[in-house]
Structure 1
Amino acid sequence: MTNQDFYGNKNFQLSLQKVENSCPSNIALIKYWGKYDNQIPANPSISFTLNHCKTRTEIEFKPNEIFSVKTLLAGKEEKNFATKIEKYFNNIEVYLPWILKGSFKIHTENTFPHSSGIASSASGFGAIAKCLMDLDNIFTNNGHPTTNHQKASFLARLGSGSACRSLFNGLVVWGKTDEIEGSSDLFAVKFPETEIHPVFKNFKDWVLLIHEGEKSVSSTIGHGLMKNNPYAETRFQEAKDNFLPMKTILKSGNLKEFITLVEHEALTLHAMMMMSDPAFILMKTGTLEVINKVWTFRKERNLPLFFTLDAGANVHLLFPNDNNSPEIEKFIEDELLQFTQKGGIVKDEMKF
């Protein structure tokens, strides 16, 4: 499919409307880090969609008013976010031709702490895209619901790249790869559930809040730094190559190989930032302490606790939800919470 396949219906009838929707966040296993113009990924990625960490959004649209956007995050007006959304709406007018023909009031709130290492831009733009598709159905489809998840994912991507993966449950792929039929740079697709071993369908993700302040570098800047990174092309090719072993691992249920690949991907993302110009070290002392503790625990007790990281200091602790869970959870609470900034932890699980 091409961008033209998502062009909007120019026959519409506007009316005052209020819609609401929610969207979860996701955590990448093979990382997307580096992009081209129009939010095209430099390499394919695959993620787990979370269950409890969501953004809930309500959009009120008033037609025939001067185009404007007012945003409230947990009841507090956020003018910088409104400016960002205005720019986003201007960029997607060709796909939703009605979008600049009125004013918007957007109420949004997260079920998880801000700056928690959970991708609020993914869940946030995912929720907005779902609301926009609800409005589009009302204005151009006489209110009849559609299940155009592809277009919702396409629109979410243009707001935040990783947001396109949040439109689907389970394991989700974004970026063209020969290993996944129907995969695209323009929208995300579900990884075939028939190709996933049962062990990967019931996973927990506990996020240790090592640092609760703003990240030292935004994801936008981080992606931009890949343009001049001398190791970027090697990294992009590695991520592409990792899809074949990941596909094999997911079908076989080989947890040991899964752990090795997921942790390698996380550390590679941080290595890219350390080798950028300027260089950034996104981990904190607590991050390294947790990683070493996890490695020791796994070696001594032979239990499948492992980690992944986004572009920040906080640690996503992953483990199967099975008979070993109580022992792993006790270890996390007894031994790892001490490395968080304020004892903060977000307990989630994968949604299938």
Structure 2
Amino acid sequence: MYSFHVKWKSPSNIALVKYWGKNGYQLPANASLSMTLSEAVSTTEVFFTPLSDGKGPGIQFSFEGKPNEMFRQRVEKYLQYLADNEMPFLHNYHLDIQSHNSFPHSSGIASSAAFMSSLALCLCSVEEQLQEGIGYAFFERASYIARLGSGSAARSVYGGYVSWGRNMYVPHSSDEYATPVNKRVHPTFLNYADAIVIVSDQPKAISSSAGHQLMDKHPFHLSRYRQANIHHEELLRALLCEDRERFAEIVENEALQLHSLLMTSKPSYILMEPATLHVIQKIRQFRKETSIPVCFTLDAGPNVHILYAKNEKEIVEDYIRNHIASTLPHPVKVLYDFLGNGPEQVFFKTID
């Protein structure tokens, strides 16, 4: 058997219509829509070494050059599931996985989406080499495999704007993999930027997995799923028609709905900080004073993503520096990113 050495860079994404609630094994309860970032990436390198006993997958894992036992256990469980159900060739290999992020931990950027998508791309590259000509679309397969590790990772294997979840408005849509929708997006939205105001660098009080489970018995879960699907349709229309005001309205409503669901779950969680509300109020003040349709979104944490067109970069980023970051009661870091083109294979080597 051959050995392989594979390396992929894959970006994170920020959900505009939120995926919050599962239906079955890593399947979404509603359709979601995201914006893939450019600079916030995970770079994952995997050495595949053959095993003679067929009792793999063996695994060695390091993050930022150091062993990470908690995440190693998660990756091991994921790989074992793939070996038993999707990728039987993994039984014949030991994997040495080394991963690095370009962004700080607990920064409001989905690290699991970036890492799991980069790992899935490495796995699919080897699968494609071993099973040449099996007849699937590579990135569709990678999205499917990434989803099994982290739902939002399904969207990170594509650049631009990405839909995930079966719906009647995106051709070839599925709950099992994501689909890019850039051909139906106005050029204005293809030049969007994202400034992430890190008001807290502390770990989240609740993991995404635990948050999804809260939706199972949430009193508003059915109405939430209906509303998310409506927002998915309406946001697609706004992206096509260059309706920036409606885009902002939907994106902000989705962020606030996510946090209202967390606040009304059992147990309940309040993940926004006073500084989060301060940033939100400042964004709304700026929008009112300038009529520039800048907007915000949040993940399941306190940090704020500010979305704006690149041609407004100078005025918006000046406002962020001088009227948002400088007015908070403690120093904050702001990460500047923009809509990205998706993953990149760094190299693939077959070793005799």
Give deviations 1:144-188, integer Å, cap 9, x for gaps: 998511110000000000000001111100000111111100000
Give the stretch that moved more between structures: 204-213 or 98-107. Answer: 98-107
User: Is residue 277 of structure 2 the alignment partner of residue 297 of structure 1?
Assistant: no
User: Is residue 143 of structure 2 the alignment partner of residue 156 of structure 1?
Assistant: no
1:211 touches 1:340 (CA, 8 Å); kept in 2?
no
* Equivalent AA in structure 1 for residue 163 of structure 2: V
SS in 2 for 1:115: coil
For residue 54 of structure 1, the aligned residue among 41, 44, 67 is: 41
**Structure 1 residue 16: deviation in Å?**
1.8
Give deviations 1:294-338, integer Å, cap 9, x for gaps: 11111112122210000000000100011x321111000112224
Q: What does residue 326 of structure 1 align with?
A: 314
User: Is residue 164 of structure 2 the alignment partner of residue 174 of structure 1?
Assistant: yes
After the TM superposition, which segments of 4 or more aligned residues of structure 1 sit over 4 Å from their partners? 144-147
For residue 186 of structure 1, the aligned residue among 176, 188, 192 is: 176
Q: What does residue 38 of structure 1 align with?
A: 25
Give deviations 1:20-51, integer Å, cap 9, x for gaps: 11100101111110002210100000001111
Q: Aligned in 2, Cα 1:341/1:53: closer, same or farther, shift over 3 Å?
A: farther
The 5 A counterparts of 1:127-142 are 127-141=118-132
SS in 2 for 1:307: strand
Q: Normalized against structure 2, the TM-score is what? A: 0.92
The 5 A counterparts of 1:230-269 are 230-269=219-258
Partners of 1:340 and 1:187 lie apart in 2 by 42
Partners of 1:81 and 1:100 lie apart in 2 by 20
Partners of 2:87 and 2:308 lie apart in 1 by 41
Provide the aligned length of Structure 1 versus Structure 2: 336
Partners of 2:329 and 2:252 lie apart in 1 by 20
Q: Normalized against structure 1, the TM-score is what? A: 0.92
SS in 2 for 1:56: strand
2:59 touches 2:97 (CA, 8 Å); kept in 1?
yes
2:160 touches 2:182 (CA, 8 Å); kept in 1?
no
Q: What does residue 116 of structure 1 align with?
A: 107
Q: Aligned in 2, Cα 1:145/1:181: closer, same or farther, shift over 3 Å?
A: closer
Partners of 1:317 and 1:248 lie apart in 2 by 21
**Structure 1 residue 345: deviation in Å?**
1.4
* Equivalent AA in structure 2 for residue 256 of structure 1: E
**Structure 1 residue 257: deviation in Å?**
0.9
1:137 touches 1:145 (CA, 8 Å); kept in 2?
no
Give the stretch that moved more between structures: 338-347 or 151-160. Answer: 338-347
Q: Aligned in 2, Cα 1:319/1:213: closer, same or farther, shift over 3 Å?
A: same
2:46 touches 2:98 (CA, 8 Å); kept in 1?
yes
SS in 1 for 2:280: helix
1:153 touches 1:165 (CA, 8 Å); kept in 2?
yes
**Structure 1 residue 138: deviation in Å?**
2.5
Q: What does residue 349 of structure 2 align with?
A: none
**Structure 1 residue 343: deviation in Å?**
2.3
Give the fraction of aligned pairs with identical amino acids, expressed as a percent: 36
Q: What does residue 81 of structure 1 align with?
A: 71
Partners of 1:95 and 1:247 lie apart in 2 by 32
1:70 touches 1:82 (CA, 8 Å); kept in 2?
yes
Give deviations 1:272-311, integer Å, cap 9, x for gaps: 0001000000101110010011111111121222100000
**Structure 1 residue 141: deviation in Å?**
2.3
**Structure 1 residue 104: deviation in Å?**
1.2
2:30 touches 2:225 (CA, 8 Å); kept in 1?
yes
Unmatched 5+ residue regions in structure 2? 342-352
Q: Aligned in 2, Cα 1:222/1:74: closer, same or farther, shift over 3 Å?
A: same
Give deviations 1:25-79, integer Å, cap 9, x for gaps: 1011111100022101000000011111100000011111653211111101111
Q: What does residue 271 of structure 2 align with?
A: 282
Partners of 1:80 and 1:245 lie apart in 2 by 40
1:208 touches 1:340 (CA, 8 Å); kept in 2?
no
SS in 2 for 1:49: strand
Q: What does residue 2 of structure 2 align with?
A: 15
